[in-house]
Amino acid sequence: MQSLLLSTILAIISSVSFSIIANVPKRALVPAGITGALSWIGYYLINVNFHSIMIPNLIGGLIVGIVGMYFAKKIKVPVIMIYIGSLISLVPGGMAFSSLVRIHQSGLVTTFGGLFNALIVAIGITVGLGISTFINNLIKFKFSKNKQSK
């Protein structure tokens, strides 16, 4: 439990810090930090129970998508302003980098295995964001249809 708390605090710090570096508006910094923390908690809890590469990242991406869209509507900013910082703790940049560094030590098979894992993580995040966008559009369509029928 202690490592979850520490890693969640670090996820908040990294989300807010990366948002600052990316020049996100000040009013979106706290929502980006909250979204990043919630996605990290979801990732962490699923990763502990499933020991998979794709499922925890898919859930993390789904949480970023749903919570990010909520905050974007609430504070009236483009959703990408929330996504920018929130996704940083899930992005497999370190995994891809360490795979490329190992090219001299372990050979091509290990390098391509690591790069494949980084690709699977990226696909999981993308699918999670896509599912959340689909759900959001479905909800919008349902509400707009209800308003038209009244």
Would you give per-residue pLDDT tens digits along the chain (150 residues)?
788 899 999 999 999 999 999 999 999 999 999 999 999 999 999 999 888 889 999 999 999 999 999 999 999 999 999 999 999 888 888 888 888 888 778 778 888 888 899 899 999 999 999 999 999 999 888 777 766 665
- 79 within 8 A of 72, measured Cβ to Cβ: yes
- 86 within 8 A of 36, measured Cβ to Cβ: yes
pTM for this model (two decimals) = 0.87
Q: What are the residue ranges spanned by the domains of the chain?
A: 2-149
